[in-house]
Amino acid sequence: MRIAGVVRTAAAAAACSVVLTSCGGSGDDGGDGGDAAHSAHGGDRGAARTAADPERIPGVGDRLRSRIPKEARQVVAVYGEGEDSAKATVVLYSKAGATWKKTRSWPAHNGKKGWTPDHREGDKRSPVGVFTLSDAGGVVADPGARLPYTRTASLQAPHYWPKTHWHDFDYVIAIDYNRVKGTPPNDPTRPQGQSKGGSIWLHMDHGSGTSGCVSLSKSGMEYLLRTLDPRRHPVVVMGDRAALKA
C-alpha cells in the first residue's frame, strides 16, 4: 500500500528566515543553466567497470558506494559537472534484485561555487557525500508525496529576492545533512553545529546556482515526491563527477 504524505506542524516563522537564508541565500546568481555531459576516458578502467556493472551506480566509486546503506532501493545521484561548477544532472536509480536501473534524469544546479567535502555555513558549495532522504514539504499542497510532507507558508522565499526565486521552495525534499530526521525541512536544529551549515535541500530550480542546495524542474520535483518511498530507504549520492568516482 502506498504511504500517504502527512502534514505536520511547521517550524516557527522566526527560525524560518535563518533556514531560508542558508538554503537560498540572497538570491544572487552565481551559475548558469544547462545539463552536464559525461564521457568516460578509454583508459579509465575503473570508470568503465563501474559504468558496465549493473550492480553499481554508474560513475560512483568504491568510497561513496560503500556508504550507500544496504537496504537502500532508491538512489538520487547528483552528478556535478565540475568541482567549481554550478551545473549538474540528477538521475534517479531504482534497485530490482541486485541490479540498479536508471528511471529518470533532469538537468539541475548545485551550489554557486561548486562542491566541497567539508561544507561550511555560507561557502556557497554543496556537500559531497551520501545522505538519506527522510522528509519533504513545501509552500504548496502535497502533490502525492510518499515521504512525510509538511505544507507551510513559512517556507515561502522572501519577496526581496529576485522574482525568479520566489517559487524555489514550493516543493522541498530535505537532504539529511546536519539535520534531525523526522522533522519538517525547515527545522533549524543542526546536530553538528551552526558552522557546518544545514538546510541542504532538493528544491525547484530558478535557472542558476544555489547556496548549497540542489535544484531541478517542477516536474522533476513532483516526480521525485511521488516516487521516493520510505519503505525503499531512498538516499542521495551527490558531488562533482571526479569526487563521485574517487
Which positions are annotated as active-site residues?
Answer: 203, 213
Bridge partners of residue 204, in order along the sequence: 216
25 — alpha (psi -120 to 50), left (phi > 0) or beta?
left
Pull the grid cell for residue 217: 524542474
Q: Which residue do the cell numbers 541542504 mark? A: 200
3-class SS of residue 108: strand
Pick from 163, 165, 133, 136: nearest CA to 152? 136
What is the Cα–Cα distance from 193 to 86, expressed in whole angstroms? 26
Spell out a b/e string for 89-106, using b for 16 or more CB atoms within 10 Å of the CB, else e: bbbbbbbeeeebeeeebb
Neighbour count for residue 86 (Cβ, 10 Å): 28
Sorted by sequence, the CB contacts under 8 Å of residue 17 that are 6+ apart come out as: 158
Query: 236 with 78: CB under 8 angstroms?
Result: yes
Pull the grid cell for residue 225: 515526491
Pick from 157, 39, 129, 36: nearest CA to 85? 36
Query: Does the CA dihedral 73-62-31-150 come out positive or negative?
Result: positive
